[in-house]
Amino acid sequence: MQVPAPFEYARATSVQDALELLERHGPESHVIAGGHSLLPMMKLRLARPEWLIDINDLAELRHITEDAGVLRVGALTRHAALLGSDVVGRLFPIVHDAEKVIADPVVRNRGTIGGSLGQADPAEDLTTVCDVLRAQVVIVGPAGERVVDVAEFHRGPYETACEQNELITEVRFPIRTGSASAYEKVERRVGDWAVAAAGAAVQLGDDGTIADAAIGLTALGLEGLATDAAAVLVGQRPSEDLIAEAARLAAEASSPVEDQRGPVDYKRHLADELTRRVLRRALERVGATATAA
Amino acid sequence: MTTVQERSPMPQEREPNPALTDPSRPIGFGRVQRKEDPRFVRGKGRYLDDVVLPGMLHGAVLRSPMAHARLVSIDTTEALAHPKVHAVITGKDLEGLNLAWAPTLSADVQAVLATDKVRFQGQEVAFVVAEDRYSARDALELIDVEYEELPVVIDARRALDPGAAVIRDDKEGQTDNHIFDWEAGDKAETDAVFARADVVVRQEVVYPRVHPAPMETCGAIADYDPIDGKLTLYETTQAPHAHRTLYAMVAGIPEHKIRVIAGDIGGGFGNKVGIYPGYVCAIVGSIVTGKPVKWVEDRSENLMSTSFARDYIMKGEVAATRDGKILAVRTHVLADHGAFNATAQPTKYPAGFFSIFTGSYDLEAAHCSVTGVYTNKAPGGVAYACSFRVTEAVYLVERMVDVLAQELEMDPAELRLANFIRPEQFPYKNKTGWEYDSGDYEPALRMCMEQIGYADLRREQAEKRARGELMGIGVSFFTETVGAGPRKHMDIVGLGMNDGAEVRVHPTGKAVVRISVQTQGQGHETTFAQIVGEELGIPTEDIEVVHGDTDQTPFGLGTYGSRSTPVSGGAVALAARKVREKAKAIAAAMLETRPEDLEWEKGRFYVKGDPSAAKTISEIALGAHGTVELPEGVDGNLDAEVTYDPPNLTFPFGAYICVVDVDPGTGKVKVRRFVAVDDCGTRINPMIVEGQIHGGLADGVGMALMEFIGFDEQGNCLGGSFMDYLIPTAMEVPDWETGYTVTPSPHHPIGAKGIGESATVGSPPAVVNAVVDALAPFGVTHLDMPCTPARVWAAMQGRPTPPI
C-alpha cells in the first residue's frame, strides 16, 4: 500500500472557514476537493502537504445555474454532475464531449471542476474547455472576491492565479447565441491522460459567416488559445479548406514534447487532425455546413 | 481420436446424469457455478492483507533509485531512532546469516538485500520493521544510502558489447553479461531446407517486456515461534510446497518446522511463483523481533521489482514453396533476463518450452537458438500466463505465417489450413522433440471462420479499403504444450514436476480432496470437486477441496504453466478411481457377491442383471467405516492418495480470429470482434473454461495494444504505476465470442488438457495480425507490440519501429 507522508486534516464548514484554516495553517496547507490528483501524488510522496483542508462539505460551491447570459458552475461541482446536466449539454456541448473522456466514472464521481482547473495539469481537459469557452474563474481570498478571465487564471503548467490562501469558488461561462463547440481526445486507453486533444467553439453570424472562433489544445504544449488559427476563420464562410488552414495553424502553434504517449511529429499531426474534427463538429452543431473546396 | 464438434453455448452440455435427481445438486462435469464465488462476490475472501495476527509488526522495503550503482554506505541510525521502528535490516545483517544472496529457480543467485551493488531500479536495499505500515514507510526516508553510480546496460542488443558494464561481477569468472546459449532442432538439416526453398521470409519480432500485474500485489506474513522453532508463513504463492522446501534448503529451518499457508490469492499469472526478497526479509524480521511481521508490496513495487514477462527479441525466418507449403522455421532469440537469472522453468529448459515455435504445422525442419543476457532491469521472465514461453513461440510463428501469407499473396487462413498437422499424424513428433498428444486442427479453424463470417468480413474489408477505411482481420492458430511434467524430463531446482492428491470419503458419503496445486482465481474448489464427483457420483457441494496449506495437503509443485488440471487433475481422478475400486470391494461384501459381478453407474454399484440390488457411494462409505465385514486386504475407509507423474505434456489448441478498425487519422485501434474456438480436451466445467478464456483474451488485447514496461537510458523504469503501465478495461475489449471442439488427450486420465493460458498465448498474434492486415494498404508487413495510436501512426508513415 502506498502511504502518504504524515499530514494533519481539517474539514471546512464554510468558505470563510476554509479561508481561515488556510490562513491559520500556512503555506504548507492545501485544499482538497475530489482528491483525484492530490491523493495519488501524496501517496507517491511527490506532494507533501502538512495540512489538508477538506472543502467537500461546502454545499454552496455545488451548483449549476443559468443566470443572465452566464452559466455559473460551483467549483465543487463534480464531473459527473456536469456530464449529467442537460443545460450544460445544450449550451456547451464541448463540456459533455470532454467529460465523457475524463478518466472513468469513479474519478468523475469525485473530481471537481475547481480541482481540475486548480491542478492545471497540462494534459487536463477542462482547462482547454474553459479556454475555448472564454470562461471566468471566481476566486475568494482574505481580500475578498475577484473574477479573472481563464486566460489570466492559467500561468503555466501546475500554476494558476489562485494563491495558496485563496479558494476557487465558481466558474462562469458566457452564453453566446448561435454558437456551438466540440472536443476530441486521443488516449491510449480509456482513462489515460490525453496523448493529445483539441477543443473548438464557433459562433455563426446571421450572414452565415463565422463571427467568432476559439481553438484550444490539450497536452500539446500550447498555453492559452491558438489565436492565429482562430483568426483565419473569422469573417469567413465555413469550408473544408478554411478548416484545413486553421488546423494547420493550430498544429504550428503547438509545441508538443515526446513521451511514452508518442513522438513530437505524431502529436503535431494530432493537433492538426483533431482541430479539423472539432471544428467540423462544432460547425455542424451550429447548423453550418462546411462546403467542400 | 474423435473430435466432437459443438458450438457453445449449448443448451445441454452433456448427457443427463443418471445419478442426478436434484438439479440443484449437480454431480460431475458440467456448467456449475463456482463454489468459491459466494464469498468473493460478498467481499468475504480472505486475502493475505486480511490476515491480522496478535502483536503483528509491519515491514517495508527500501529500494534502489538507481539501475546500477555501487553501495558505498548505508546509515540506519536515524531510522532506528524512530519511536515505532523495531528493526532495520540491511544486506550486511543478512550476510551474517548467510542470507544476503539466495538461489534462484534458474541455477543463479539473486541478492535478497544488496551488499555490493544495486543492479536494477527498485532493487531491495534495506528492510524496516515497525509497529504499523505507516511508520515503516516513514522510516524508509530516514535511511541514508550513498551510491556510486555505474554505467548501465539497458538495451539487450548491447549487453554483449565488448565495452558493456559487467553487471554480475559478483559471479566468479563472469566477465560479460552472457547467461546461456541454448538450442533445439537440427541446424544443418534446417539450413539445408532453407537453402533450397523457393521463398524465405525474415522478420525481427519483438515481444516486449510486460508484467502480469495481478490485482493483489505480493506479500507475506512470517510468524516465527521461538519456543517450538516453528515458522508459519502466510504467502501470496502459487507454489506453497515448493516454497517450503526451498526455505528449508536456504534458511536452514527444518522442513517439518515450516508451514506455508496461501489463503485466497488475487491473481497470480506466474507473478507469484518465485520467492521474493520481501518474503525472506519478513522471515528474518520475525526471527529478529520475535513477532509476526507482515510485508505487502505496493503497486509500484510489484510492477518495478517482481517477475516481469517476455522481453524476447526474435529473428524469425520461414522457408516455403511458392505455392504455400511451409517447409521449415528457424529463429535466433536474444532473451533479456534482467539483473539475475530468476526465471521459473524446468531445469533443462532455460528458454522454457519456446522450442514449440514450430506451431501447428507439419514441417520438414526447425531450429531455434536462444541467448540469454543480463541487463540492469528487474529479474523474472517466465510469467503472465506464458506456459513457459509458449507465448513467445506462438506469437513468433503466428506472426511469421502472416508475413509469409503477405509475401505469397495468400489468404492467411487458407495458408494455415494448407499446412496443419493432419489428424492422422497424431501423436505427432515435431522437429524439436515434442510429441503432440492429439489434435484436429482444421475443424477448429473452420468453425472459427464460420462463426465470425470470414468470407463476408473479407468482402467488407475490400469495400472499406476502396473508401480509404482501415479494417483488419487477424487469424491465429496455436498449439500449447502444458502440464509439466514427466519427472524424467522435468524438475524445478531438482523437484520433480509431479503433484499429489488425496481423496477421503467420510462415513456419511461427503468427501474431502486435498491437492497440492494452488488456485489464484482459477476455480480449483469447484473443478477438483467436479472431478471427484464425476468419478464417485458425489454432488459437487458435498466435496470439500483443501489446498493452500502445506500442513494439510500432499506435496506438489503448484499452479503455473496451465498444469493444475493436466497434473493435479490426473492425480485427483486416479485417487478417486482408487477409492472407487475400494468401494467396489466393499459393496461386493455388502451385497454378498463378487466384485466382478458389480456394475458401476455414477454414484452406485449394482449387481449385473439386477439393478435393484445396489449400494450407493454413501451406503458404501458408511459400510467401510462401520461394521461390514471387510474383504481380505481392504481396510476400513474410503481413502486413497496418488502422486501423478504425467507420461507426456498435453497440447491444447485453438483458432482465434480478431477484427479491428483503425482510425486513419489518429492510428487508434478498436477491437470490433473476437472469436475464440478452443480445444482443451475434456471440458470439466465449461463455464470456468469460458471464464479462463475471457480473461486470457483481455490479456492478449492488453499486450497487443498497450502493455509495455519501458526504460529510459539511465535505466529508470517507465512502467512503475497503473498511470504508465496500461492494462485494458471493459472499454477496450469486445464481447467475446467463443466456440469449442473437444479432442481429448489420449494419455490423461480424464482426457483434459488445461485451459488456463491458452487465450493469453493465442490472442496477441490474432490482434497484431489484424492491425497489420488493416495497415497493409500502407505497405506495412510488421508492427511490434504494443500497437498504441502513436506506433500505429508511425507504421502508416512507413516508420514501424520496435519498442526496444
**Cα-based distances in Å from A57 to A12, A13, A28, B31:** 7, 6, 21, 50
Mean pLDDT for B65-83 is 98
Confidence of residue B25 (pLDDT cuts 50, 70, 90): confident
Task: Report the distance separating Cα B141 and Cα B123, nearest Å.
Answer: 16
Confidence of residue B7 (pLDDT cuts 50, 70, 90): very low
Residue A256 contacts B where some CB pair is shorter than 8 Å: no
Residue A217: which domain range? 179-292
Instruction: Answer yes or no: is pLDDT of B214 > 60.
Output: yes
Q: For residue B803, what is the nearest residue in chain A, using CA coordinates? A: A260
Residue B789 contacts A where some CB pair is shorter than 8 Å: yes
Confidence of residue B80 (pLDDT cuts 50, 70, 90): very high
For residue B12, give every residue at least 6 positions away whose Cβ sits within 8 Å of its Cβ, in sequence order, or none. Answer: none
Residue B717 contacts A where some CB pair is shorter than 8 Å: no
Using the structure block, give the residue that is written with the C-alpha cell 536515524.
B78
Among B49, B300, B788, whose Cβ lies nearest the Cβ of A188? B788
What does DSSP assign to residue B335? E
Looking at every residue in chain B, the average pLDDT score rounds to 95
Residue A88 shares a structural domain with residue A140: yes
Answer with the one of A174, A205, A228 that is the final residue of a domain: A174
Could you tell me if residue A2 is inside a domain? no
- The CA R_g of chain A, rounded to the nearest whole Å, is 19
B277-289 and B240-251 helices, crossing angle to 10° = 60
Cβ atoms of B485 and B719 closer than 8 Å:
no
Residue A160 shares a structural domain with residue A183: no
**Chain B environment of A193 (Cβ under 8 Å):** 723
Cβ atoms of B497 and B563 closer than 8 Å:
yes
Answer with the one of A159, A174, A189 that is the final residue of a domain: A174
Q: For residue B218, what is the nearest residue in chain A, using CA coordinates? A: A1
A-B contacts at Cβ under 8 angstroms: 66
Residue B251 contacts A where some CB pair is shorter than 8 Å: no
**Does the beta-carbon distance from A190 to B732 stay under 8 Å?**
yes
Which of B400, B298, B373 lies closest to B768 in space, CA to CA?
B400
Could you tell me if residue A78 is inside a domain? yes
The number of distinct structural domains making up chain A is: 3
**Does the beta-carbon distance from B665 to A261 stay under 8 Å?**
no
**Chain B environment of A270 (Cβ under 8 Å):** 666
Instruction: Answer yes or no: is pLDDT of A293 > 60.
Output: no
Determine the pLDDT at residue B15. Answer: 46
Residue A193 shares a structural domain with residue A279: yes
Mean pLDDT for A253-263 is 97
Determine the pLDDT at residue A175. Answer: 97
Give the model confidence (pLDDT) of B582-632 as tens digits: 999 999 999 999 999 999 999 999 999 999 999 999 999 999 999 999 999
Give the model confidence (pLDDT) of A12-47 as tens digits: 999 999 999 999 999 999 999 999 999 999 999 999
Give the model confidence (pLDDT) of A178-212 as tens digits: 999 999 999 999 999 999 999 999 999 999 999 99
Determine the pLDDT at residue A289. Answer: 67
**Does the beta-carbon distance from B790 to A263 stay under 8 Å?**
yes
Give the model confidence (pLDDT) of B125-164 as tens digits: 999 999 999 999 999 999 999 999 999 999 999 999 999 9
Confidence of residue A290 (pLDDT cuts 50, 70, 90): low
For residue B774, give every residue at least 6 positions away whose Cβ sits within 8 Å of its Cβ, in sequence order, or none. Answer: B470, B471, B472, B660, B661, B662, B669
Task: Report the distance separating Cα B488 and Cα B107, nearest Å.
Answer: 19
Task: Report the distance separating Cα B53 and Cα B222, nearest Å.
Answer: 10
Residue A189 shares a structural domain with residue A263: yes
Could you tell me if residue A122 is inside a domain? yes
Task: Report the distance separating Cα B255 and Cα B237, nearest Å.
Answer: 17
Confidence of residue B337 (pLDDT cuts 50, 70, 90): very high
Task: Report the distance separating Cα B571 and Cα B555, nearest Å.
Answer: 12
Among A45, A188, A267, whose Cβ lies nearest the Cβ of B706? A188
Could you tell me if residue A57 is inside a domain? no
Quick one: which H or E segment has residue A183? strand A179-186
Which of A140, A107, A137, A104 lies closest to A18 in space, CA to CA?
A140
Cβ atoms of B179 and B231 closer than 8 Å:
no
Instruction: Answer yes or no: is pLDDT of A220 > 50.
Output: yes
- Our CA-based measurement puts residue A22 at a distance from the nearest CA of chain B, in whole angstroms, of 25
Which of A208, A182, A171 lies closest to A64 in space, CA to CA?
A171
Residue A190 shares a structural domain with residue A169: no
Residue A150 shares a structural domain with residue A168: yes
Q: For residue A185, what is the nearest residue in chain B, using CA coordinates? A: B666
Strand locations in B506-553 (E):
511-515, 543-546
**Does the beta-carbon distance from A191 to B729 stay under 8 Å?**
yes
In a mutational test of the A interface, the residue from B299, B788, B797, B804 whose CB has the highest number of chain A CBs within 10 Å is B788
Residue A164 shares a structural domain with residue A85: yes
Q: Where residue A48 sits, what CATH number does that domain have?
A: 3.30.43.10
Residue A77 shares a structural domain with residue A27: no
Give the model confidence (pLDDT) of B189-198 as tens digits: 999 999 999 9
Residue B140: all three cell numbers together: 524508509
Cβ atoms of B202 and B324 closer than 8 Å:
no
In percent, how much of chain B has pLDDT > 70? Answer: 97
pTM, to two decimals: 0.96
**Chain A environment of B133 (Cβ under 8 Å):** 1, 3
Instruction: Answer yes or no: is pLDDT of B72 > 60.
Output: yes
Could you tell me if residue A1 is inside a domain? no
**A150-167 burial: b if 16+ Cβ within 10 Å, else e:** beebbeeeeebbbeebbb
What does DSSP assign to residue A112? B
Task: Report the distance separating Cα B330 and Cα B190, nearest Å.
Answer: 7
Residue A136 shares a structural domain with residue A218: no
In a mutational test of the B interface, the residue from A45, A188, A258, A279 whose CB has the highest number of chain B CBs within 10 Å is A188
Residue B722 contacts A where some CB pair is shorter than 8 Å: no
Task: Report the distance separating Cα A71 and Cα A134, nearest Å.
Answer: 12
In a mutational test of the B interface, the residue from A45, A260, A272 whose CB has the highest number of chain B CBs within 10 Å is A260
Mean pLDDT for B86-102 is 96
Residue B573: all three cell numbers together: 481422478
Quick one: which H or E segment has residue B70? strand B69-75
**Cα-based distances in Å from B679 to A16, B50, B443, B452:** 68, 38, 10, 17
Q: Where residue A239 sits, what CATH number does that domain have?
A: 3.30.390.50
Residue A193 shares a structural domain with residue A150: no
Q: For residue B731, what is the nearest residue in chain A, using CA coordinates? A: A190
**Does the beta-carbon distance from A3 to B134 stay under 8 Å?**
yes
Could you tell me if residue A47 is inside a domain? yes
Answer with the one of A16, A32, A52 that is the final residue of a domain: A52
Could you tell me if residue A170 is inside a domain? yes
**Residue B70 burial (CB < 10 Å; 0-12/13-18/19+)?**
middle
Determine the pLDDT at residue A291. Answer: 55
Instruction: Answer yes or no: is pLDDT of B572 > 50.
Output: yes
**Chain A environment of B732 (Cβ under 8 Å):** 189-190
Could you tell me if residue A3 is inside a domain? no
Give the model confidence (pLDDT) of B737-749 as tens digits: 999 999 999 999 9
Instruction: Answer yes or no: is pLDDT of A55 > 70.
Output: yes
Cβ atoms of B178 and B337 closer than 8 Å:
no
Determine the pLDDT at residue B381. Answer: 87
- Residues 34-53 of chain A whose Cβ lies under 8 A from any Cβ of chain B: 40, 44-45
Q: Where residue A96 sits, what CATH number does that domain have?
A: 3.30.465.10
Residue A277 shares a structural domain with residue A231: yes
Determine the pLDDT at residue A1. Answer: 80
Confidence of residue B719 (pLDDT cuts 50, 70, 90): very high
Residue A102 shares a structural domain with residue A68: yes
